Amino acid sequence: MAQPLALTSGEPAGIGPDITLAAWLRRRELDLPPFYLLGDPASLAERAKTLGLAVELAEVRAEEASAAFERALPVVATGKAATAQPGKPDGTSADAALASIRQAVADVAAGEASAVVTNPIAKNVLYRAGFRHPGHTEFLAELAARGGAAPQPVMMLWSPALAVVPVTIHVSVREALAQLSTDLIVSTARIVVADMKARFGLAAPRLAIAGLNPHAGEDGTLGMEDVEIVAPAVDILRRDGVAVRGPLPSDTMFHAAARKTYDCAICMYHDQALIPIKTVAFEDAVNVTLGLPFVRTSPDHGTAFDIAGTGKANPSSLIAALRLAARMAAASS
């Protein structure tokens, strides 16, 4: 039997508990891979009660999760209480969320889980507690380092219709321009190619590289960045043997016919990548961290405090994240 997936609790006051419960209830209908939740069993039981869901919980060790999955939702206790009510994070929220992430990574490193799937966190809640990372992606890279050099984490948003990667991630547009370099584009693309081969089963991934400026700079008349930074990166990747095109005008890269010509779009900044995929695949897009020594996926949405505990949360993105994590882990084994 394959190792189960380690699912983090995310922000306890958000919709993570809701979608976890909803996904487990559909396990047979959707033939979901076994997973267990890392968190506070009492908090999850209280959320199930709030939602009026008859979900049996089984407090287990990670190695017992797969056997329990069919009859009950396995929960591995982190030892951190989560007392927040739906939509109202409290002083326990940050510790509970971070302990869950740390334990999930440790479980995968110990061979007790096949991959990490993370429920949404509330970064503003973590920041108030002293969290110093821009988001999940960077924190996971630090955990993966285990005292050595941290790997370069690459954030991919994946769906059956479109996969995108922003070269610069959770920074302002001004800072994105300052960070953007030929070397960063090349190193990001190389990680994408390596992981798409190893974990997505693509022998020769096709990349489309977006230009930074409107119309990819119009040969420098709308800015020299595409000539001086992006085009040289495309040339280097081509010499590597990568199937790559660019820099391409980003306003014509994402219509249906264009999407059929590549496997992943490499974009220069956050919104250039995320606006198209959230338009095309809002319900089933998955956040994937590439470049790590383990598989990590996540739903492509936030904590949705306004609907937490109401039963309105849609588990589709979490279900897609669980399925993709299992697929990637199997390809990597």
pTM: 0.92
Per-residue pLDDT tens digits for 187-235: 999 999 999 999 999 999 999 999 999 999 898 999 899 999 999 999 9
Residue 1 has a pLDDT of: 56
Burial degree of 330 (CB within 10 A; 0-12, 13-18, 19+): middle
Tokens of 54: 């008859």
Cα dist from 34 to 28, 177, 227, whole Å: 11, 42, 48
Please state, rounded to an integer, the average pLDDT across all residues of the chain. 94
More confident residue, 252 or 151: 252
**1-149+292-333 and 161-280: identical CATH topology:** yes
Domain boundaries along the sequence of the chain: 1-149+292-333, 161-280
CB 92 within 8 A of CB 83: yes
Helix/strand/coil for 288: strand
Domain 1-149+292-333 has CATH 3.40.718.10: yes
Pick the CATH number of 161-280 from 3.30.499.10, 3.40.718.10, 3.30.70.260, 3.40.50.170: 3.40.718.10
Distance of CA 151 to the CA centre of its chain: 16
pLDDT at 147 over 80: no
Q: Which of 80, 103, 106 is nearest to 91 (CA)?
A: 80
